[in-house]
């Protein structure tokens, strides 16, 4: 954010007046009064990630458009706990908003939201948002709503996930054999990496850096924007561009907290969050396309494996057949309508 000299002078003059004199009621000074509704949003990513930057952008617009009645405070970087903790807080009403991947802890409550993370399902962003802004997304949001939560329409982008490791590049499925790899908490990730013959362990994101550093695990998988903002390159040597799954965050709300908001405030909140989500998708796509160079500069060695043998391994291991059975005919059909036949 760029402040010019004039903004700075005005701000300091007002704070000085408020701090040192009884001028609080002075008409030229905007009083810092408490908002009527002060809600928290928790996220698992570092403050500099576009997820947080764009939520903050929406929060500022919401405050302005509601004349200060609604304030959303952003708590990034797992400040409020790991994903399963924040999810429990959201459900209990201790946290009003939370961004969570459908394949992550959300799938413990609504198992079918993980379908967006099926291995090698979406070929590109056109397919991703075609599905999630379309029928599949509407269906999944219906399931989330039925489970008692509130969810905003537009999903936020995490990105296509890539594998990093401290031990070796992944050039073919055999390189994954027995590899100790961290995955987020969620059934789908375990199924996917077991099908690829790796040895996956569920670890919340707040413990990823240290478990890589202490070599509890050799590797992990995440989009480049996360590898960069969470500085995972400091504790990893190789990055293999597998794009093995797409991942994104639903903007979830506690229902009781949401229903306390007057309808006009709810409209302002949703409108701004959904608009910022669309801009956030652009930011992440651009970052993920340009970060390889930056990360090479930080010492990470990249390789681009042929993906056909990975897909083949998933097919022959029965992964797709198993997932189709798990998610159900209806959901699988909605997915394949966009991706084409997977199983």
Chain contacts with ligand X2X (rule: CB under 6 A): 44-45, 101, 104, 158, 184, 205, 222, 226, 247
Cβ at position 36, least distance to ligand X2X in Å: 31
Q: How far is the CB of 45 from ligand X2X (least distance, A)?
A: 6
Residue in the block written with tokens 């056109």? 126
N residues, the chain: 343
- Contact indicator for 55, 99 with CB cutoff of 8 Å: yes
SS3 category, 105? coil
Residue 185's H or E segment, with its range, is none
Q: Which is nearer to ligand X2X, 76 or 268 (CB)?
A: 76
Number of C-beta neighbours around residue 292 at 10 A = 16
CB of 13 to ligand X2X, least distance (A): 42
Q: At 233, phi and psi to the nearest 5?
A: -60, -20
Choose between 101 and 276: whose C-beta lies nearer to ligand X2X.
Answer: 101
Query: Shortest approach of ligand X2X to residue 157 CB, angstroms?
Result: 11
Token pair recorded at residue 51: 């997820």
Residue 164's H or E segment, with its range, is strand 162-165
Cβ proximity to ligand X2X: between 162 and 272 the closer is 162
CA distances from 166 to 176, 241, 293, 320 (A): 13, 15, 19, 29
- List the one residue out of 63, 46, 184, 137 whose CA is nearest residue 338: 137
Distance CA 208, CA 110 (A): 24
Residue 104 or 276 having the CB closest to ligand X2X: 104
Q: Tell me the C-alpha to C-alpha distance, in Å, between residue 121 and each of 46, 125, 199, 206, 245.
A: 27, 11, 22, 27, 7
Which residues neighbour 299 within 8 Å (Cβ) at sequence distance 6 or greater? 233, 237
Residue nearest ligand X2X (C-beta atom): 205
Residue whose CB is less far from ligand X2X, 37 or 281: 281
Least spacing, CB of residue 279 vs ligand X2X, in Å? 20
In the complex, the smallest distance separating the C-beta of residue 208 from ligand X2X, rounded to whole angstroms, is 7
Q: Which is nearer to ligand X2X, 89 or 101 (CB)?
A: 101
Dig out the tokens for 21 from the structure: 């004199």
Shortest Å, Cβ 129 to ligand X2X: 18
Whole-number minimum distance, CB 285 to ligand X2X, in Å?
A: 16
> Closest distance between ligand X2X and the C-beta of residue 148, in Å?
21
Nearer to ligand X2X, 62 or 291 (CB): 291
User: In this complex, which beta carbon is closest to ligand X2X, that of residue 227 or of residue 338?
Assistant: 227
CA dist 155 and 308 (Å) reads 28
Nearer to ligand X2X, 66 or 229 (CB): 229
Contact 128, 282 (CB under 8 A): no
Least Cα distance to 194 among 175, 214, 215, 179 occurs for: 179
Q: What is the rounded radius of gyration, in angstroms, for the C-alpha atoms of the chain?
A: 22
């Amino acid at each position: 954010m760029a402040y010019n000299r004039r903004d700075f002078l005005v701000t300091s003059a007002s704070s000085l007046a408020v701090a040192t004199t009884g001028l609080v009621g002075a008409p030229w000074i905007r009083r810092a009064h408490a908002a009527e509704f002060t809600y928290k949003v928790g996220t698992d990513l570092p403050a500099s990630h576009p997820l947080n930057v764009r939520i903050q952008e929406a929060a500022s617009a919401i405050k302005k458009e509601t004349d200060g009645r609604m304030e959303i405070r952003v708590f990034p970087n797992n400040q409020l706990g790991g994903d399963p903790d924040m999810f429990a807080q959201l459900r209990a009403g201790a946290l009003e908003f939370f961004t969570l991947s459908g394949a992550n802890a959300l799938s413990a409550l609504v198992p079918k939201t993980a379908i967006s993370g099926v291995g090698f399902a979406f070929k590109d962003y056109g397919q991703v948002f075609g599905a999630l802004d379309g029928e599949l997304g509407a269906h999944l949001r219906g399931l989330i709503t039925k489970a008692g939560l509130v969810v905003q329409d537009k999903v936020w982008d995490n990105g296509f996930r890539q594998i990093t490791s401290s031990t070796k590049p992944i050039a073919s499925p055999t390189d994954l054999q027995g590899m100790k790899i961290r995955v987020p908490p969620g059934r789908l990730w375990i199924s996917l990496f077991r099908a690829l013959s790796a040895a996956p362990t569920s670890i919340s994101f707040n413990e990823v850096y240290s478990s890589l550093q202490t070599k509890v695990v050799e590797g992990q998988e995440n989009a480049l924007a996360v590898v960069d903002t969470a500085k995972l390159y400091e504790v990893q040597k190789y990055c293999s561009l597998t794009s093995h799954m797409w991942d994104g965050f639903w903007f979830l709300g506690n229902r009781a907290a949401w229903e306390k908001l007057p309808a006009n405030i709810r409209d302002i909140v949703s409108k701004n969050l959904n608009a910022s989500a669309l801009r956030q998708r652009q930011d992440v796509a651009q970052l993920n396309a340009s970060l390889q160079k930056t990360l090479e500069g930080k010492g990470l060695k990249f390789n681009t494996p042929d993906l056909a043998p990975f897909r083949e391994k998933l097919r022959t291991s029965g992964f797709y057949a198993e997932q189709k059975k798990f998610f159900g005919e209806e959901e699988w059909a909605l997915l394949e309508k966009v991706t084409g036949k997977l199983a």
